Structure formats: structure tokens, C-alpha cells
Structure 1
């Protein structure tokens, strides 16, 4: 490194310090800031002047390379500290007095542990002292400068801490929270909320402000009401009301002011996106925003994460316990010792497709138990939260109509062809209000329809369109059907695929799935725009304009038009497109005679519909004539495999059913449940034969032995239990170390009956009842494993027949036989 580069570094530090001096000097009022700011600012000119003197001296000499190499890291460290100090001053000093300490906390957390103004200043002075004390930069006034610098170091070291005690641990929590959320890949609900707002056209505050003055909202906001339910029909503006409410709450909470005395967490459901339409996603969103506001809460999430891994919070892999795991974390967070109010807002509960009963139970339970919690939720009328706490938009129709009138006036004033014709504009406003029937969505769709029309055409179109959403959708579908455009069929294909997709599709995905590769992106966007007003395009993704539009497209009124061959044919075409895309390059060019496949082949023989929740387990009867299924709706169903008709619904479990199995003779069914039990049912009558109790957590797997005399069950309590199928008595418990994910019996001529798991196989010779939690009951003698009168207690074997032990707890893996 050269002397010029050293001088350049010094010049950079001087500039940074000078800018910091200007920031403090420009402040009109320094009251409210920690005293450390004034003490540090007072010493910045000393640093500036000393560096300028050193710079001038180095310009007059030619420092050698050894000096330059030695002083470089000192100057680089000094520059880094000066930059961080400048950032804190820039973020904190110019702000209003009331928020300065809050902004200082934010700045310190952003920059990292230990970044207080006094610690940074001391580091800068130490670096300057090293520079001026070097033999090369021996200044003419070295003694005076050294004395001033040492005095400044001593004085800065004596400055009382400018930040509260415990901030270091808070900064550590922030880092731990950020790392964990990054690993879990949860989405910030704030981002989704902004996107949903844009999809719906944004908030017009004048049309939503009435809710903030409503007595029911005021009682919820300021009095003892813990739960407020805003309900109304489709398109009544519920989402925008909740947007207005969260905007009003946010400035008073830790989301905007870390020093505030309340929290705000919210989630906006959307049925058309499978990342936003289930109870697990809602809890993830609420927990995410609570962590954003108080990172110390991360310990509750991390405890379960460290013990069970991130999969415990993920429902995508058939994990039926995700909601329970998250609700446990959520309860701990809201029960955390504090005095702050916690506002929790959830929009569109009716669009929560999976786990809604569990979520409603959690909302009601927590609102009764936690005095600091205040829930506000919205939904259509069919969701029953609590009628005594309902704010009905139909009952408050006068306020809604006034809000729609304000909204119409605002929107119609923006129609180009009506701006110069007040009389015509007033006519259109009056007609729209008369037909709106208290529905914002109807108004929005009409405004799309008339926006580009000329004045007289605007009035005619308003007259032609019927009132109410279903008639409006009928008219839109009729217009598409009558279209003579060459793109009409493409429009119908796009509608069918966008309606059945489980998430919003990117425009390029839609092009592939619809078989419209011949169109450029711009053309495809125009075709989407032709789809009436059923779809909207936002950031290159296609969304249904509203849940009611999607509901209409799968109703009897529209299904024959966009699904002429049935919805299954569209599903099949999607699968075909995906398979073609995946394997198009795999076909060898040298194959001349291609295999033939029927054009309308379908891998689906029957679709059995009837469960009210997710289906978690299915099994065929031994003769193949019946199918049994278990579901999150707490029921077991038996179906006729040939006709697909439901034969019987079996009720009795107190929670989600996770696993079902037929006995070898088909006369009985075993089912496992999140209620920690195994139940045995009579297949013919559907009556409960017996309940097997003993597991300490959810039962996840059940299976019968080949002769039907034994039932094995696996559980989240990390055990496998074997039961006598006739008496229901527990025969054996084996502690496995973790929950098994596979369980099946297998007979062997050599060693008898084995129970195979993904961890290892258990040798079963029917006999005494035993439990093995710690290895003390284990029989390690090979001969004892083959005695017909004994049950080989925990007889876990390796492939060569020897019991396997790890430390004092035996864990066995069968190298050959496993699930």
C-alpha cells in the first residue's frame, strides 16, 4: 500500500466525521437525546482536526511501505466505526423529539451488538491515537495532541451507557429471530396484505372511515369487548374495512413504534392461493408479526424447532400436527408476561379451506382467557363466530350505502368521458348507486365495464347491466360466449385453468398449461383482459378478481360453459402439459415407433367426495370391494369401491383421524387419531367395538397383524404399542426415540412375526406383556428371542440376529428389512 492510499483513507474519514458534525449542528433541538450524543458530538472536531494535521504532515513526507501496511487496518477500522456512527446520527438526530430514543434503539439493533455512540467514539479515538503516536506521523505538536486524545478517551470511557441494560440480549434475539424465520421461509403478512390491496384496487379511506366511528368498533377498541366479528355478503367491502382498521391501529403499536404499549398482528386469507387459505398459514402469519415486534418471543418457537425440526410446523407433508404445534407456540407468545394489548386481525375466515373449526376454537378460547387479547375477524355470513359479537354489514346497510355513494362519486369523477359533462356524470352516479345494492364489488366491476366508454355509451351500459353479483356474472359470461373474437376459445381455456389452479399462476405458467405457446406475453395479457372481469393481472400473476367470481365459475350457472367435458378433463390437461414439459427432452431421437396412448386417458377411476376436511388416510378392504378413509373432519367413512358411493360414516373420535386399516378378514377397522386413541369398529354396523388408550400424544399409524390378533400403533409420543385386538389390552410398548413414519407386520419362517418400522424391526413372539422405555427389560440373549412362550421384550435385531445397542439405550436398525 502506498502513502497516497493512506492519505486517501484519512481523507475519507475526515469527510465522514465532518458530515456527522453537520448533522448534529443542524438539529434545532437536542433535548430528549441521550447525553452521550452531546458528549460525542463535542469531541468530533478534535478527531477531524487531528486527522487533518496528520494528513498535512504525511503529504510533506514519503512514508515507507512498512508503515503503510501497518497503519492500513487501523485506518480501515476507524473508517468503519465512523460510518456506523454517522448512520446512527443520521437516523436519530433529525427526528422528532418523541421518537429519538426509539429510533436510536432501531439504529443500534440494525448496526449490531455493541454499537452505541460512546463505544464507537472511543474506538475512533483509539485508532486516531495509534495513528498520531506512530513514529512516521510524529507531529510537530505531538505531546499536546497525544494529551488531548488521551483525555478524550478517558472522558468518553466515563460516559454513562446511552442504551438501556439488556439491549445486547435484545440484539441477540433479533439475530436469532431473523435466522429462524429465514430458515422456515415464512412470508411476511404485510407483503401479502399490500398485494391483496392492489388486487382489489386499493383503499379509498373516505369510503371506509365510517367503521372507525361505529359504536361496536369503539367498544372493541377502547372498552372490554375482546372479539368483534364483521360479517356480510360477498363484495360488501369487508377486506377494505379491515385494511382501514389495521391502518388506524398500526401507528399506535410496535409495528411502527417499538416503544408503544400494544402489538398488532394480522392475516388476510385468500382462497385462490393455497399458501393463504388454511389455519396453519394464518397462525404462521400471526406469529411472524408478533416476532417482528418482540424478538424475545423467538424462544417459544425455537424450543419446538430445536426439538422436532422445521417439519413440525409444515402441513404440506401430511403433517396433521402442524396446527397444534403452532397453536401451542401462539398461546405461549400471547401469554408471555406483559401488560401490552395485543390486537389480532384476520380477514375472510370463509376463505380458510382447511382447519377453520380448529382456528375458531382457538380464537374463542384465547379471547375468553387472555385479558390483553383483542380479536377482530371478518367473514361472509355463513361462518358462525358469535352472533352476539357480530357487526353485520346488512344490518348497517345505511352506513354501507353512504360509503358506496362516496366511493362512486370518487371513481366516476375519474372517467375521462364524463369529466366535462357534470349532468351526465351525476346521472351515472345516481344509476350506479341505485343498482349497487350495498355491494362495492358490483360497483368496481361496473366501473371496469364503463371506464373506456363515451358519455352516452356509459349511460346505456349502466342501464343494460342488472343489479346483483350473480346476474352481473351471468351477463359477463354471456358476453364471452357471444364473442366473435378469434380469442374466445383461448379465453375460456384460461378461465378454466385459472379457476382450478391451487395458487395464482404466472402468465408464462398459464401459457404452458393452456397450450397457448403460440402467443407472445403481451397477447396473452390481452386475452386475460378479455375474460370479462373474472380475472385480474398483477405483477405477471393471474388472480380471480374475487372469491365470489371463483365460486360462480364452478357453479351450475357457468360450469357447462367453461368445463364442457367436466373439471376432470381440465385437471388431466394440466397434468399432461406438465408431463410433456418435464419429459419432452427425454424421448430418444432414435425411437421410430412411438407407444400409443388413448387421447382421453385418465389415471383417476373414481373421485369420492363427502369429507368435510382433508383426507389423511385410505385403505382397501382385503377383497377390494370397499375403501375406508379417515379425515381431519373427525370421521371415518366406508365407500363402495366399484360405484364410489358412500356406505357409512363413522363418528366417535374427538379430533382428527390420522390413520385407518382393515383387519385381514375385513370385519373390523382400526383408526388412530390426534385424540391419542386407537378405536376398533365393526365394518358392517359401523359401531365402536373398543377404544385403546395409552398413548401420550397423537396416534399417527395403525395396522393389523396378518392373523388379525394384534394391532400395532405408532405415535408422536415416540413409542410403538402392540395391542390384543380381541381384548384391547396393551401387549407391549417400545420406545423408538422418535415418531415412526412406517409400520407393518411381516411373517418369516425363520424368525416368526416381525413388526417393521422405518427405524428397525421388532421380533414378536406372543407371550408376556412388557414395556421397554429404557432398555432395562431388554432380553439380549438370542435364544430368548426365539422362545415361543416369551414375548421378546423390545427384541430389536440387526440383520444377523444380534440385538443392537447404542450407549445405554438400545436402538436397533435392521439393515435388510425396513419399511
Structure 2
């Protein structure tokens, strides 16, 4: 597991002593620039009545009652895995004080270097556990020598530290890890957790994991191995019962959002009802993402200028597959050269760019291509102006969240590669 050796300390060995402050101890486990809370808050909260299908699974009911175990949700792109992960974090956090529990999380992102690493994820988990249990930080780690190089390369030291911390705590720890498929060593991480997660009956460490992932690589072999421990449970979105439950929840989203989107069109109740039925029927693949994209398309300013008949026809003729949706979005790009440059920059970037960075980068590239002098003062514009140009040139293919520019979804980035 390769990772740059510049994270924990400039020195290879770190000695945690009686004079080491608690804040210093906690800081050692969070890399500068890693904001795991921002990744969570960028994900929308679910609409009421959704993200409930998992809780109806008997395997989930068994997992939630156990002090240890792994619960893995495997689902195709666009089925709301990240929204589900955020919903679970929020649900667990609401009851953690009453249940004497601790909730920590990490959302893997394939286009962010430091959020693709399992060691970074475990560093973030330990940081959260210690931040919420400052009284056990010193008791657990005092006089321990931490090998900075090993922490950067191997998950084992992190796991050993986490187990040592948990032995000093009586709390139940719940770890939510979203999008293992975006982790650079996701297969190895899952295999490690399956092998090392404590047994419900034998371990004093009360820790369990809620994981999400697309189907990828060796995942199918890992989840179907006959010798997997009983503490490891898997649910799949394509199981008949789960697929129907997800479809019902997506129907609730359509029923709630369509009247809101259609309000400015002055549609009759029967027209709204017909539009809802049409979208429910067309969403054959049962993805939240498709619904979100079609409703965003209907809300675009230029589409709001259409006649009611043309607007309804746009909804009825919207492509059924995500690839066709993305192809349609790109075919409607107004400034192809600008959009291409910006997309190239975002794909190549090792972390999400702020809108200012993206603005400067694309303008520099445009000026290099045209040999025109670069006017920095002219480039320093407002976020509102950049957002307006982004929407005009690229539609909803990209978006700005918390001041940073992102593709609308991981599948949009994948479509370009």
C-alpha cells in the first residue's frame, strides 16, 4: 500500500510521552488538507421515507444488534449509496449518546489523492474516536512509539492502535466507510476487515463497520467465499426484494419533487400526475441519479422558457440510460473549447479545485492556447459569475459545492475516461 511518507511526522519515529498534549496526540492522526466532514456534508440528505430499505433486511437487523461485525451494501452506480451512508451516519449520531456509542466515518473519493487511501481513512477514524474520547487518548497511547513510516504504508499499525484505544473504552464504535470502490486498495481493505474484525463472542473490542461499494474486481469472490465469518453480512441492490424496495423509495422522491419542479409551469393536477407516472415508468433502472438529472434538466433556465407542451415533451423524451443522459448533456455544451479545458483540468487534478483555482487554471490554459496576454484582474471574478458561466457552458455536468468544483457524480467523471 504505497503512500507518500510525509504525513504523520518529519521524523520516522514518534514518541508519545507524558508531556505530549492531548491535542497534539489527536492531530497526529489527521493529515493537513484532509476534511472528512466536508465530504460528508457535500452529500445531500435523503428525502423522508427513503434510505429505509436496508433497515428492512433481516441481515441488517442482526448486524445492528451485534457488538461486532461488518455490513456491506453492494449497489450499482446512481442507486444512492453515498446518500445512504450519510443517512446512516446521521441516524447513528442521533442515538450515540443514548446508546453509549461513537460514530466515525470516511467517504472515499477516487479523484482526491488523500481520500483514496485506506491508511488515510483509518487515520481519520482514529482522529474521530480520540476527538470524542479525549480522556482515553493519553491512557491508550502514552509511552507508545509510533512508526511514522509504517503508518504511511500499512494498515496494520492503524488497526493495532484502534484496537488498543477500544480496549480502554467501553463505548460501542460504529465505523461507516462509503465507496470502497473509490479506495485505491479497496479489495485489500475489505479482505483485511473480513479477516481481522473482532468476533462478537470473543472480543472485548466493540466495533462494527457499515460499508458501501459498487460491484468491482475481486469483490464478488470475497463476498461469496464459503468460509467468511458469520459477522460478515452482505446485501445487494439487485436482489428482488431490495430492488423493489428501492424502486418504491425512488417513486416517493418523484412524487415529492415533481410538483415542486412543475410549480412554475402552472400544470393542472392531472398533468402533474401524468408526469409523475411517466417518470416512474421510464426509470426502469431504478436510480436516484437518473431522477435527479432529469429534474435538473427541467429546471434549467433555458428550458423554463419552453412552452408547456415542449417542456412536458422534454421530460417524456429524456434518455433512459445514464450514458445517453451524459452524451445529451455534452452535446448541448455551448462553449466546447472552454468545457473541454475545464474537464481536462478537473480530471487531472489530484484534489478538488476551488472555483478560484479552476477559474485561473482554465483561463491560463485558454491564454496559452491563443497566445493572448493573461489579465489576472479580469480573471478574479465572483463565484456567482463563475457558477453562471459553468452552468451556461457545461449545464449540470459539473457543480460547485462548498466553494469547490466537482463533477455532478462519479459516473460523469467515469463517462469521460
Query: Which bracket does the TM-score occupy, shorter chain normalised?
Result: 0.7 to 0.9
8 Å CA contact 2:105–2:176 kept in 1: the answer is yes
Q: Distance in 2 between matches of 1:247 and 1:219?
A: 20
Q: Does 1:490 align with 2:364?
A: no
Q: Look up the match of 2:223.
A: 386
Instruction: Give the match's secondary structure for 1:448.
Output: helix
Q: Which has the larger radius of gyration?
A: 1
More helix per residue: 2
1:263 aligns with 2:102: yes
- One of 177, 184, 198 as aligned partner of 1:346: 177
How many residue pairs get aligned? The number is 359
Q: 1:210 to 1:420 in 2, by over 3 A?
A: same
Question: Does residue 533 of structure 1 match 2:396?
Answer: yes
Q: For the residues of structure 2 that align with 1:311 and 1:225, how far apart are their CA atoms?
A: 30
2-side partners of 1:340 and 1:178: how far apart? Answer: 21
4+ residue runs over 6 A deviation: none
1:178 and 2:9 aligned: no
Contact 1:491–1:527 under 8 Å retained in 2? no
Instruction: Tell me what 1:765 maps to.
Output: none
Richer in strand (by share): 1
**Counterpart Cα distance in 2 of 1:235 and 1:301:** 41
2: distance between equivalents of 1:307 and 1:445? 47
Which secondary structure does the structure 1 equivalent of 2:320 belong to?
coil
**Deviation string, structure 1 residues 406-446 (Cα, Å, up to 9, x no partner):** 11111112113346522222222122222222111111111
Q: Map of 1:113-132 to 2, 5 A cutoff? A: none
Alignment of 1:282-297 (within 5 A): 282-297=121-136
The whole-number CA distance in structure 2 between the counterparts of 1:412 and 1:351 is: 32
TM-score under structure 2 length normalisation: 0.78
Deviation of the 1:290 alpha carbon: 1.2
Map of 1:766-785 to 2, 5 A cutoff? none
**SS of the counterpart of 1:344?**
strand
Q: 1:547 aligns with which of 385, 405, 410?
A: 410
* Aligned-pair Cα RMSD in Å: 2.7
> How far apart are the structure 1 equivalents of 2:353 and 2:82?
22
**CA distance, structure 1, for counterparts of residue 100 and residue 56 of structure 2:** 22
2:236 matched to 1:406?
Answer: no
- Report the 3-state secondary structure (helix = DSSP H, G, I; strand = E; otherwise coil) of the residue aligned with 2:210: strand
Structural mapping, 1:249-398, within 5 Å: 249-253=92-96, 257=97, 260-299=99-138, 300-301=140-141, 303-304=143-144, 308=147, 313=151, 315=152, 320-321=153-154, 323-334=155-166, 336-353=167-184, 355-369=185-199, 371=203, 372-382=206-216, 383-384=219-220, 385-387=222-224, 389-395=233-239, 396-398=242-244
Bigger relative contact order (CA 8 A; separation at least 6) = 2
Q: Secondary structure at the match of 1:346?
A: strand
In structure 2, the CA distance between the partners of 1:302 and 1:531, relative to structure 1 (3 Å rule), is: farther
Q: Does 1:206 align with 2:49?
A: yes
Instruction: From the superposition, tell whether residues 420 and 307 of structure 1 become closer, same or farther in structure 2 (CA, over 3 Å).
Output: closer
Distance 1:176 1:407 in 2: 49
2:87 alignment partner in structure 1: 244
2:294 counterpart of 1:446: yes
CA distance in structure 1 between the aligned counterparts of 2:327 and 2:245, rounded to whole angstroms = 28
Tell me by how many angstroms 1:525 deviates.
2.3
- Deviation digits for residues 677-701 of structure 1 (CA, Å, limit 9, x no counterpart): xxxxxxxxxxxxxxxxxxxxxxxxx
Could you say if the C-alpha distance between residues 386 and 540 of structure 1 is closer, same or farther in structure 2, counting changes exceeding 3 Å? same
Partner Cα separation in structure 2 for residue 283 and residue 463 of structure 1? 46
